[in-house]
Amino acid sequence: MTQTTVPSSWDLTGRVAVVTGAARGIGHATATLLRARGARLVVTDRLDAVEQLATNDPEHVAALVGDVSDEELARVTMRSAIDRFGRLDILVNNAGRTLNKPITETSVDEFDAIMRINARGNFVQAREAFRVMEADGGGAIVSIASVSSLVAFATQTAYAASKGALAQITRVLAIEGGPKGIRSNAVLPGVIDTDIMDGVVDNGREMLASFGSAHPTGRIGRPEEVAETVAFLCSDASSFITGALVAVDGGWTAQ
């Protein structure tokens, strides 16, 4: 990962960021971009592949493997940022799961599993980061929610509920964090070209691409496009933005 030249207010040199769900998709694109902007990173994921980020850049990146909803992992992650790099400035709450089933076919266990990762997982990560940031004078928390936080789609009872919860967590953190110098925002992607549907349906990438015409832009998004917005919200360029739900959706929610 090499640092790129950006306006000074976008530069993240000297900052330390935690990125969850960084092994692939939006999380991987975000970790790559934050590092390119100068941040040092602690990256986590349930997949061992996240360790490759640290292998490629061991001086500036540390990796942890585990379940994002695990309270102890959350505490260890934030401590790792302090122990390894001396501070914590940014949390990108990205880890998540999806489920597409009619409500009558959705079990309680499936509902709980989605809420555990998307709501509880993001809650415990934000709570532990908030504690560190509160003690150190501030920071930025950016959560990856979804357009499903705002609009409803059939077969997304569990997923929409979890992402709606994450949107409200974001707003509450903005209110609690404002006096403490902690900003909290959420990015709401539309349909993005990732492997999130692999293992959920056959031909997941093709299924996602078929939603292109539902976006006014006529195509689905790329992980790098979401990452750019995340990086902006992590930077001083967004210093007066908090409690915002920022749609990166090709105009989907404008319809």
Active site residues: 159
Task: Say what the alpha-carbon torsion angle 196, 197, 203, 209 is, to the nearest 10 degrees.
Answer: -70
What's the CA angle centered on 91, arms 75 and 71, to 5 degrees?
25
Cα 239 to Cα 183: distance, rounded to the nearest angstrom = 8
| Helix runs in 120-217, H state only | 122-136, 157-177, 204-209
Alpha carbon separation from 213 to 1, 40, 197 (Å, rounded): 34, 38, 18
Segment (H or E) for 18:
strand 16-20
Q: What is the rounded CA–CA span in Å between residue 239 and residue 88?
A: 17
Using CA of residue 208, residue 114, residue 92, residue 55, what is the dihedral sign?
Answer: negative
Residue type, 161: A
